[in-house]
Amino acid sequence: MIRVLLADDENLIRSALAALLALEDDLDVVAQAASGAEALAMARAHTPDVAVLDLQMPDRDGIAVAGDLASAVPGCAVVIVTGHGRAGHLKRALEAGVRGFLPKTVSAGVLTDVVRTVQRGGRYVDPELAAEAISAGDSPLTPREADVLELAAGGAPVEEIAARAHLSPGTVRNHLSAAATKLGAPNRHAAVEVARRHGWI
């Protein structure tokens, strides 16, 4: 039996996935979670073979959780499912060791096949997302610029971003200005939109 952990903050979607996977003779949903923190706790408690994680959860994204799972439960393969697949998300996911990446629009048959594939050590990336990632290119942002831009996404003032990022306000302004310039955006708010559209933050 392949032991599966499901993590999605939308209860209806998570329950539907659990019901679909339960129809398969070789799959056993051993735990469910509604957040990234809960997914990690459940993974430690149940040691699943495969974790199916939603990309966007309220506390942490599925890619960050995948990175933590790699050290917490080394034998657990991760599949990311998303309603908002972007090229940058795919690249970050692969760098974090994610073995499967697919949109929520796939059929139940595809999902179950992907779970089996990654459990055997294989990989699966949705072909359309892969093609989009290749054509989009790499992020022009440095990791620090991306971090600061992400902190700016909620409209926080420079002083608050500086405190959260452990930087001086002047350094934060420099990073935001550099990010906006690189993205061809007139201000930080527009830069956030461009970076989000490409999945770079």
Which domain CATH number covers 179?
1.10.10.10
Closest by Cα among 7, 73, 78 to 37:
7
- Say whether both 124 and 152 belong to one domain: no
Residues 32 and 109 reside in one and the same domain: yes
Other Cβ atoms closer than 10 A to 140: 16
- For residue 174, name the pLDDT band (cuts at 50, 70, 90): very high
Which residue type, as a one-letter code, is found at position 116? Answer: R
pLDDT at 56: 87
pLDDT at 137: 65
Residue 154: what pLDDT?
Answer: 82
Cα within 13 Å of Cα(10), Cβ side: 12
d(CA 107, CA 62): 20
Decide: 40 and 72 in contact? Cβ < 8 Å: yes
Q: Whole-prediction pTM value?
A: 0.72
pLDDT, greater one: 85 or 5:
5
Whole-number percent of the chain with pLDDT over 70: 96
Q: Do 8 and 70 sit in the same domain of this protein?
A: yes
Residue range 141-158, pLDDT digits in tens: 888 898 899 889 888 899
Last residue within a domain, chosen from 95, 115, 135:
135
Closest C-alpha among 82, 47, 32 to residue 62: 82
Show the beta-strand stretches assigned E in the chain.
Answer: 2-7, 27-33, 50-54, 77-82, 100-103, 124-125
Same domain as 187, residue 159: yes
Q: Is the pLDDT of residue 163 over 80?
A: yes
154 in the same domain as 70: no
* Closest among 34, 96, 41, 78 to 59, alpha carbons compared: 34
The answer to whether the beta carbons of residues 104 and 126 sit under 8 Å apart is no
Residues 164 and 180 placed together within one structural domain of the fold: yes
Judged against a pLDDT cut of 90, whether residue 37 lies above it is answered with yes
* Res 192 pLDDT > 70: yes
Q: How confident is the model at residue 136 (pLDDT cuts 50, 70, 90)?
A: low
Encoded tokens for 94: 């692969």
Q: Please tell me whether residues 43 and 72 are part of one structural domain.
A: yes
